[in-house]
Amino acid sequence: MGDMEEINGCIETIRTGDVKARREAVSTVAAFGDEAVDPLVGALIIAEDNDVRWYLTRAIAMIGVPAIDSLIYLITVPEDPDTARYAAAALGEMGEPALEPLIELLDDEDAQVRGGYAALALGRMGEPAIKRLVKLIEESEGLRKRCAKMALYRMGGGEGTEALALSMMNE
């Protein structure tokens, strides 16, 4: 069986398998790395079931850096808001490697890209994004500053809220 056949088999298992089979398929397909990005992103685009989207997103996030450009594309040219949300979630799960591409999206013309998907992903990222967001609040004005604050707010309790409060007190 060739790699692409195995990748497609894993994607089919993610679509139709039970929980245990889906988890195994996620780990297996993620191990293919760069080669699996396009098929996984294609499957994410056409997926209609949120459980399937979640497992595909996990696999993409596990691949990491090779998937960043494809996920940014899904956020900035959203055919489907659900697909864009799951792409943002995958970027947030990647952590630090996705940080700067997400920061750049805070300048996007589209309010949904800026304040919705990018801030969502940064908020989901948590700790790796906090220092960079605080610095952005200190150095930025207008929309970029508000989006950075929104990302910290979306982190919820703990360090994100504390960082947001401290940045507001320093204004």
Residue 81 lies in a domain: no
> What pLDDT is recorded for position 161?
62
Q: Per the domain annotation, does 118 fall within a domain?
A: yes
Q: Which two tokens stand for residue 35?
A: 């080669």
In a domain, 108, yes or no: yes
What's the total number of domains in the chain? 1
pLDDT tens figures, 63-106: 999 999 999 998 988 678 888 888 998 999 899 999 999 999 88
> In angstroms, how far is the first alpha carbon of the chain from the final one?
60
Per the structure, the complete domain to which residue 117 belongs is given by: 95-171
What pTM does this model have? 0.81
In a domain, 113, yes or no: yes
Please determine, for residue 122, whether its predicted confidence score (pLDDT) is greater than 70: yes
117 in a domain, yes or no? yes
In a domain, 11, yes or no: no
Q: Is the pLDDT of residue 166 over 80?
A: no
- Taking alpha carbons only, the member of 171, 113, 110 closest to residue 145 is 171
Residue 28: pLDDT over 70: yes
More confident position, 80 or 8: 8
What CATH number corresponds to the domain at position 136? 1.25.10
Residue 141 counted as domain residue: yes
User: Does 116 map to a domain?
Assistant: yes
